[in-house]
């Protein structure tokens, strides 16, 4: 199981990406918009510097035709690095670009997936990851769970190397369901992940343990005994 942060916020990435078991960063133009008018390549170079080469970095194209998408993919890999996963929306043009870029061994994350057919075709085109949009599908009364299960089933039935990178989450319940339905990877905003630790009972348990230790042994840590 892999967990990614769906953010371009340097401060949050710096604070949490190496503390929590995070396997990478995903972004899209709307996520970038939240950071204001950034210096695109410098911003992503900084993110790469923070997360290192072990974690994956997924950067989305901004254009819509096969030719333009391919040009952007080359620019991203030339000016950030060749390990970047190019996020390409699954349209007819997007699929054409995915097929071409896979011939040149680009890493591809097929995104903006709302329908089963988009996911199936992206697997067949050779995408490394497919990103079904959990919350957005639910908003349209599409069964996100069933869609993810169908993807997991197709991957194992036809032996695709594609992995499901479920995205578009608004709460922890959605993330948990996507995992239970077979997503091997999920990407979520750091604020959603941090919600998992916010329950008052968690802080109380931690404080009670500490207080019992101090009362019994003293205000000294094990390594200082």
Please state, in angstroms and rounded to a whole number, the distance separating the CA atoms of residues 97 and 76.
Answer: 14
Helices 116-125, 144-158: inter-axial angle, 10-degree rounding: 30
The CB-of-149 to ligand E4P minimum distance in angstroms stands at 19
Instruction: Tell me the window of 98-106, 132-140, 152-160, 208-216 that interacts with ligand E4P (CB under 6 A).
Output: 132-140
Footprint on residues 186-225 left by ligand E4P (CB under 6 A) = 187
- Under the criterion CB under 6 A, does residue 28 sit at the interface with ligand E4P? yes
Residue 140's alpha-carbon distances to 33, 44, 56, 218, in angstroms, are: 24, 33, 30, 57
Q: Which of 33, 37, 87, 103 is catalytic?
A: 87
- Under the criterion CB under 6 A, does residue 131 sit at the interface with ligand E4P? yes
Please state, in angstroms and rounded to a whole number, the distance separating the CA atoms of residues 111 and 133.
Answer: 8
Per-residue mark of binding to ligand E4P, 163-192 (x: CB under 6 A): ----xx------------------x-----
Under DSSP, is residue 219 helix (H, G, I), strand (E, B) or coil? coil
Q: Is 87 a catalytic residue?
A: yes
The pairing of strands 85-89 and 107-113 is parallel
The catalytic residue positions are: 87
Binding site for ligand E4P (CB under 6 A): 6, 26, 28, 30, 111, 131, 133, 135-136, 167-168, 187
């Amino acid at each position: 199981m892999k967990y990614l942060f769906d953010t371009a916020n340097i401060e949050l990435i710096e604070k949490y990406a190496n503390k929590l078991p995070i396997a990478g960063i995903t972004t899209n133009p709307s996520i970038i918009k939240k950071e204001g008018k950034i210096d695109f390549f410098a911003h992503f170079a900084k993110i790469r510097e923070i997360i290192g080469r072990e974690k994956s970095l997924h950067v989305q194209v901004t254009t819509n035709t096969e030719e333009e998408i391919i040009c952007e993919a080359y620019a991203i890999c030339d000016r950030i690095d060749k390990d970047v996963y190019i996020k390409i929306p699954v349209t007819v043009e997007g699929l054409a670009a995915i097929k071409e870029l896979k011939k040149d061994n680009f890493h591809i994350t097929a995104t903006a997936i709302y329908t089963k057919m988009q996911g199936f075709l992206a697997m067949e085109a050779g995408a490394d990851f497919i990103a079904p949009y959990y919350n957005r599908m639910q908003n349209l009364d599409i069964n996100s769970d069933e869609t993810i299960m169908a993807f997991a089933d197709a991957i194992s039935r036809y032996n695709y190397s594609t992995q499901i990178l479920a995205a578009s989450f608004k709460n922890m319940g959605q993330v948990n369901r996507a995992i239970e339905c077979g997503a091997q990877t999920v990407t979520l905003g750091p604020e959603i992940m941090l919600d998992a630790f916010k329950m008052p009972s968690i802080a109380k348990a931690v404080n009670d343990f500490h207080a019992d230790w101090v009362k019994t042994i003293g205000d000294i840590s094990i390594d200082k005994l």
